[in-house]
Structure 1
C-alpha cells in the first residue's frame, strides 16, 4: 500500500487498514466483515433493533476466527453538528482502543468527514427524527502476526432539526450511541472458516446477479 493507511467505504462500513496489514489478511477481513453484515441482516432489522444488530455482527466475527480482546464504552452523547463526530473517539475510549487503534480510528473518522462520500451519506438521511447507523472499523497489524480489528458501531438520531443553507451545514441535537469491541484475527484463526465464507459470498453474488 502506498499510503500510511488505506481506507475503504464498503456500504455502511468505513474500513481502514494500516500499511503493515498484508493483502491476504486484508482480503480475509473484508470477507469476514461482509459475511458478518449478511448474517446480522438476516437476524435483525438494523433500523429498528440496532443494538441487537451490532451485537450479532460482533458475535459472527467472534464465531469465525476473531478473538475478542476488549470493548469500547457503550455510551450515548449529543453533538450539534456532523463535524463534531471527529471528537467521538475520545468519548468512547475503552479497553478496546489501544493507542494504535485509537490513532487509526481518529484518522478514519477525519477522513470520512473530509470526503465527498460523507456529504452524500449524511445528506441522504439528515432530517428530524431520522436514524441511521454505520461502523468505523480500523485495523492494524499485531506483533504476533495477526490483525487487531476495532468494530466501532455508531447509531445517530437527529432531533430538534435546524436546516442550514445546505444540507451538510444543518444542525440540531444529534444523539450518538456507540457499541463495539476489538478482535484479533490471524490467517490461522480464520483458516477453518475461509472457504465456507467465500462460498457463501459467491452464492450471494450469483443470486444478486440473477435478481437483476
Structure 2
C-alpha cells in the first residue's frame, strides 16, 4: 500500500486500480482517510464478489463497508441504464440524487472525473473494433468536498459498462451492430473525523497487511 501523505499537496486526485478519487479542498488528513477507506471497502467487496461479473452485488457490499466504517448515507444516485450506440453519447454523463442536499460542486467534480477516467475513449475503441459481448469495465469515481468543519461529503459513483455485439451477413453485406449499456450506482455519504476515529487504526492495519494498492497522484 502506498502512502501519498508526503506529497499530497501537489495533486487534487489519485488513481488506484478501479478508483479515481478527487479531493481538491480536503486537508492532508482527510485525503488519507478517504483513500484508506475506499481501498478498504474495495478489498473486502472484492474478496466476496467479482467486480465485472457481479457488479451489482459488489457495489452493495462495497457500500455496506462504508456504512460499517463510520459513513452516513445522505442520498442515493438515481439513474436508469443508458443504452448507447456511439461514444459521443458519453461526453456528458448525467445523473440525479435523492434528497435535498446541495451537491452541485460534487456533481461538477464527478463530470471532470469521468473525463479524466477517459470513459469515452474506451467506448470509442469498442465501437470501432469491439467483437465480443460481456462486461467491458467497472470502476468508481469518488469526488469529495469538506463540509461543517471536520466532515467530508463523498460521492460514490460506480459505473459498469457492458456490451452486446451482433453480426449480420444477410444480403451479402457483413454488418456488425454494437451496443453498450452503462449503469450507474452509488450515493452521497458524509464522514466526520469523530465517527472515523474509531475505525482508522483498524483500517490502516488491515491495509498494511494486505499491501496491494498502488496509488498515482493526478490533477483533473
Structure-to-structure mapping, 1:49-128, within 5 angstroms: 49-89=54-94, 92-95=95-98, 98-113=103-118, 127-128=131-132
Unaligned runs of 5+ in 1: 163-170, 207-212
| In structure 1, distance between residues paired with 2:196 and 2:163 | 38
| In structure 1, distance between residues paired with 2:115 and 2:89 | 10
Deviations 1:56-75 (A, max 9, x none): 10110111011110000142
Does residue 189 of the first structure (1) align with residue 182 of the second (2)? Answer: no
Q: Measured at CA, do residues 178 and 195 of structure 1 come closer, stay the same or move farther in structure 2, by a change above 3 Å?
A: same
Q: Measured at CA, do residues 194 and 127 of structure 1 come closer, stay the same or move farther in structure 2, by a change above 3 Å?
A: farther
* Deviating more after overlay: 60-69 vs 139-148: 139-148
Structure-to-structure mapping, 1:133-148, within 5 angstroms: 133-148=138-153
Q: Measured at CA, do residues 114 and 39 of structure 1 come closer, stay the same or move farther in structure 2, by a change above 3 Å?
A: closer
Shift, 1:143, TM fit: 3.0
Shift, 1:127, TM fit: 4.5
| In structure 2, distance between residues paired with 1:114 and 1:174 | 12
Q: Is the 8 A contact 1:13 1:137 kept in 2?
A: yes
Shift, 1:186, TM fit: 1.9
| In structure 1, distance between residues paired with 2:159 and 2:187 | 12
Give secondary structure in 2 for the equivalent of 1:139.
Answer: strand
Higher helix share: 1
| In structure 2, distance between residues paired with 1:47 and 1:93 | 24
What is the TM-score normalised by the length of structure 1?
0.79
Q: State the partner residue of 2:14.
A: 8
Give the aligned length: 189
| In structure 2, distance between residues paired with 1:161 and 1:194 | 49
Deviations 1:147-177 (A, max 9, x none): 1111101110122379xxxxxxxx9311011
Q: Larger relative CO (CA 8 A, sep 6+): 1 or 2?
A: 2
Give secondary structure in 2 for the equivalent of 1:72.
Answer: strand
What is the TM-score normalised by the length of structure 2?
0.76
| In structure 2, distance between residues paired with 1:84 and 1:174 | 11
Q: State the partner residue of 2:204.
A: 198
Shift, 1:42, TM fit: 1.4
Greater Rg by CA: 2
Give the ranges of 4+ consecutive aligned residues of structure 1 lying more than 6 Å apart after TM superposition. Answer: none
| In structure 2, distance between residues paired with 1:9 and 1:161 | 34
